[in-house]
Amino acid sequence: VRRLEDVGEHEWIARLTRRLSGAGKHARVLVGPGDDAAVIAAGRRPLLLTTDTLREGVHFRTRWLTPRALGRRAFAVNASDLAAMGGLPTFALLALEAPPATPVPHLDALVSGFASAARETGARLVGGNLVRGSALALTAALIGEAPGRVVTRAGARPGDGLWVTGQLGAAGVAIRALTRGRQARLSEPPRRLRAGSVLAGLASAMIDVSDGLLQDLGHLCRASNVAADLEIEHLPVAPRCQRALGPAAAAFAAIAGEDYELLFALPPRREQALARVRARLGCRLTRIGRVRRGRPRVRVLDGAGRPLALGRRGFDHFR
């Protein structure tokens, strides 16, 4: 019998998603399982729903982050999934798992961090749950609304440009150092909510970069049924990653996860519109490749346009 470690997180989810959508359409489910968030019809505006977990020993170790920063991070990684569809968070639930010996002030700071990060985006923590566990784990569920158009992973067309917000690789370098027992500061994920809601009006497809650019671009390609070229010399590599890794920095930044930037496809006819909104996004934008016709597959090209093999493709919980 096959086990999760044989199949991997992403293949299991892809199969499950196909099976669940086989159960037939539901009039109020506008986007079902398999994207960054689900979109449902409820009242005037569609609602976006998403859930994500941060687990001690998997996503973090306690000495990496203060309890407050951990709470803020749990909100941020969930909000990023809403941003990737053009949504803004409105309400949040927080399910906690904690060992009996957890100091109460730690747990209080964790929830305060989560609640204050929510309030800063106009959202509210409205409920939650606490169970005994062997490690600390935070599972948030976020409800969001989109001020305008909602964009999924599934609309990229051949000829579209591929763009990314901000810079890549800094979180990966910090996590690598921390994992090796060295000191490093794991910064709070960028908040791309405003950028996401503006870009959703222009992009043909969008996803947040959580498991690594290469892997998340692969998800976008599979959902859109297209291929892509990634021009690695155009990657906006974070200075911290560049300093730490030198010539290997761009390849590292292409597979390191935890950046929580937005990756999107843009039809050429919308480039002028993008130029007009650019100043409002609050972050840099970089064109890093293009969408091609073909089976879902990402080709990484060097400066001379030659294909490169990067080895590992990004994060999977079970492989």
Distances (CA, A) of 256 to 152, 211, 244, 313: 23, 7, 13, 9
Of 95 and 184, CB closest to a second copy: 95
Among 18, 120, 134, 308, binds a second copy (CB under 8 A): 134
- Nearest distance from C-beta of residue 176 to a second copy, angstroms: 19
Applying CB under 8 A, does 296 fall inside the site for a second copy?
A: no
Q: What is the DSSP letter of 268?
A: G
Q: What is the DSSP letter of 168?
A: B
- Nearest distance from C-beta of residue 221 to a second copy, angstroms: 21
Of 23 and 304, CB closest to a second copy: 23
Sites for a second copy among residues 225-264 (CB under 8 A) = none
Of 99 and 158, CB closest to a second copy: 99
- Nearest distance from C-beta of residue 71 to a second copy, angstroms: 12
Q: What is the spatial distance between Cα 263 and Cα 273, in angstroms, rounded to a whole number?
A: 17
- Nearest distance from C-beta of residue 197 to a second copy, angstroms: 18
Distances (CA, A) of 212 to 105, 120, 258: 34, 27, 7
Applying CB under 8 A, does 273 fall inside the site for a second copy?
A: no
Applying CB under 8 A, does 220 fall inside the site for a second copy?
A: no
Of 16 and 308, CB closest to a second copy: 16
Sites for a second copy among residues 91-130 (CB under 8 A) = 91, 93-95, 97-105, 107-108, 111, 115, 119, 124-130
How is 18-86 classified by DSSP, letter by letter?
Answer: HHHHTT---TTEEE-TTSSSEEE--SSS-EEEEEEEEEBTTTB-GGGS-HHHHHHHHHHHHHHHHHTTT
Among 4, 248, 273, 308, binds a second copy (CB under 8 A): 4
Applying CB under 8 A, does 153 fall inside the site for a second copy?
A: no
Strands of the 285-292 sheet, one edge to the other: 205-209, 261-266, 161-165, 285-292, 227-231, 298-301, 307-308
Q: Which two tokens stand for residue 239?
A: 């200075």
